[in-house]
Structure 1
């Protein structure tokens, strides 16, 4: 079941169109592109928080990659309730508080705004998948996507199906 959704726009933020049961690409970066996720443990923290939040808020995770200062993900919104801001805020707040406690920097801004876009076709889906999974290659971290440990690329290869 799909609805007409909700369109929200805040004064200093990009507009967001929220629709149920749709594929979205999410992108977020750290504040001032600081490498807060440089350590493997921080990337693992993000992965754990992101996957837990997806369970709590009923988002289906399709693809993801996390780098030193940003991440990309493709997710499917829940069928009944549109809750993207709460979903994203939950893992952003959790990771920011955890890392600020570790670094003894209470109140430090860790995350910048997120960007989302609704995926509208299979061609768009394929292009976004390539963007997500090839991001570590684009940034010169690895030569092949399957070499990068902090994405679900290898798992994804065994389960991909387009369900626009």
Structure 2
């Protein structure tokens, strides 16, 4: 059992890193519209502010500001991940770039069904929890302490595609809130 503690405060801004289970996948950018819809539906039901967000092929970073009367970011991330996973699974998983690990049983004539492939790709605990195996179970969060901390984490979101060698300038990455910030004058190219 984890000894991690999460502050039980009201609202505030929080920086997140959320990763796919299969590092090296491009599922998030390949299915960006599914992700956008999952976020849109979740925000409509449980509002939160998006201060910064960048989606990379296999992980994403975000800074959210949560309402004082409903600071549960875990529920929001759970809803986003569940909605995304459900649609990816309905689309057929492998046809959208999610490839579960195949069983190691190489018997002649053995042809695992899709259900057997999915079970083999997930641990018994993920199967019991009906986890699709698309996401890492946990995410990393950091509660913003002050304005300098906030600015540093927003900048981290914007510059992360450059750090990973995906583009030369933050504004060249299409899956980033940097474009919104440029339109409203919060980010200078």
TM-score scaled by length of structure 1: 0.81
**RMSD between aligned alpha carbons?**
2.2
Q: Which ranges of structure 2 fall in alignment gaps of 5 or more residues?
A: 94-113, 119-130
The one of 160, 178, 189 equivalent to 1:135 is 160
Q: For the Cα contact (< 8 Å) 2:18–2:139, is it kept in 1?
A: yes
Q: Do residues 68 (structure 1) and 57 (structure 2) align?
A: yes
DSSP-derived class of the 1:87 partner: helix
Which residue in 2 is equivalent to 1:110? 134
Q: Do residues 58 (structure 1) and 47 (structure 2) align?
A: yes
Using a 3 Å threshold, how does the CA distance of structure 1 residues 72 and 93 change in structure 2: closer, same or farther? same
Using a 3 Å threshold, how does the CA distance of structure 1 residues 73 and 139 change in structure 2: closer, same or farther? same
Q: Do residues 99 (structure 1) and 124 (structure 2) align?
A: no
Distance, in Å, in 2 between the alignment partners of 1:25 and 1:154 is 19
Give the number of the structure whose residues are more often strand, by fraction: 1
Q: Do residues 151 (structure 1) and 141 (structure 2) align?
A: no
Q: Which is further off, 101-110 or 70-79? A: 101-110
Distance, in Å, in 2 between the alignment partners of 1:130 and 1:63 is 9
Using a 3 Å threshold, how does the CA distance of structure 1 residues 124 and 65 change in structure 2: closer, same or farther? same
DSSP-derived class of the 2:87 partner: helix
DSSP-derived class of the 1:23 partner: strand
Aligned positions, number: 150
The one of 28, 33, 48 equivalent to 2:23 is 33
Structure of greater Rg: 2
Which deviations, in whole Å up to 9, do the C-alpha atoms of 1:64-96 show, x marking residues without a partner?
A: 011111011111111212221211100100111
Which deviations, in whole Å up to 9, do the C-alpha atoms of 1:36-73 show, x marking residues without a partner?
A: 52543x12221231233123212111110111110111
Q: Which ranges of structure 1 fall in alignment gaps of 5 or more residues?
A: 1-10
